[in-house]
Amino acid sequence: MTEMSLSTVMEFLEERYPLRLAEEWDNVGLLIGDPEQSVERIMTCLTITPLICREAIEEKADLIISHHPFPFHAIKRLTTETVRGRMIWDIVTEKIAVYSPHTAHDSAPDGINQQIAKRLGLQQITTLYEDKNEKAVSNEGTGRFGMLPEPILFGELLEKTQEAFNQQVIPYIGDPEKSVRTVAVGCGSAGSFLEQAILRGADAFLLGESKYHTFLEAQFNGIGLIVTGHYISERFAMERMAELIQTKFSDLTVWASEVETDPIKYLI
């Protein structure tokens, strides 16, 4: 078994999900750990929770790649008296590193939004905010915007979403009988992208999570809104990331957390 350093894995992640693509407010990259430490077992997950923390410790992970940053907010006191403090304490005590790509992963050329756009079968995919940086590669940046191969009914796009994400409950706003062609995409809590989706003339906007007023804003503007659920819109990409790392570093053991599930349950 060849010894692999954390920094080697970090180089691979940086290549695929360049941290310069992260939003300014974000907290990305190596958040806990020593780049020189050796890594044999890597677990990916969407969010570090007490349950996931336990899995990492029991399964002897050396590195957790958590899409959502952990920690995210500044910390002034690190004790075991709070749930978060306890998790960080346990992770550090067990010498487990934590790396979070977050919005760099959302925006990367092969990132989450690109993957969602492909899943919907969109063509001529560009970033949603293409004017942000003229020199940017068209598939590198915030959100995605693309065209369906041919106009379909909004109701068909809803069904397509249901199928693509294997999710029965899909909250939406819009007329199922209306024809749609252009679609904007934003994983997670992407409600703030709605304005840009309208500016780009999108017929529909698919996002992970939406506030009530964002639904209304979409209705006022006659744009269809499709909400997959935050977890559903992002977790699949952490499973894919685990596969990619495993393929690249065959000596390592890499898996996507097996205990992680959508924390939100639906009574149907």
Between the two ends of the chain, the Cα-to-Cα distance in Å is 49
Tell me how many residues contact Zn ion (CB under 5 A): 2
Residue with smaller CB distance to Zn ion, 33 or 188 = 188
Residue with smaller CB distance to Zn ion, 6 or 242 = 242
Cβ neighbors of 42 (< 8 A, separation 6 or more) are 9, 61, 62, 63, 64, 65, 242, 245, 252, 253, 254, 255
Task: In angstroms, give the least distance from the CB of 187 to Zn ion.
Answer: 7
Residue nearest Zn ion, Cβ-based: 188
Task: In angstroms, give the least distance from the CB of 107 to Zn ion.
Answer: 13
Task: In angstroms, give the least distance from the CB of 231 to Zn ion.
Answer: 8
Binding piece for Zn ion, criterion CB under 5 A, among 113-121, 146-154, 160-168, 226-234: 226-234
Site for Zn ion in 61-90 (CB under 5 A): none
Residue with smaller CB distance to Zn ion, 217 or 234 = 234
Q: Which amino acid is at 176?
A: P
Cβ(140)–Cβ(109) below 8 Å: yes
- Tokens in use for 76? 């002034």
Binding piece for Zn ion, criterion CB under 5 A, among 16-24, 78-86, 139-147, 180-188: 180-188
* Using rule CB under 5 A, residue 188 touches Zn ion: yes
> Residue 73 and residue 65: Cα distance in Å, rounded?
18
What DSSP element (H or E) covers 119? helix 112-119
Q: How far is CA 133 from CA 130, 139, 141, in A?
A: 7, 12, 9
* Using rule CB under 5 A, residue 229 touches Zn ion: no
Residue with smaller CB distance to Zn ion, 182 or 228 = 228
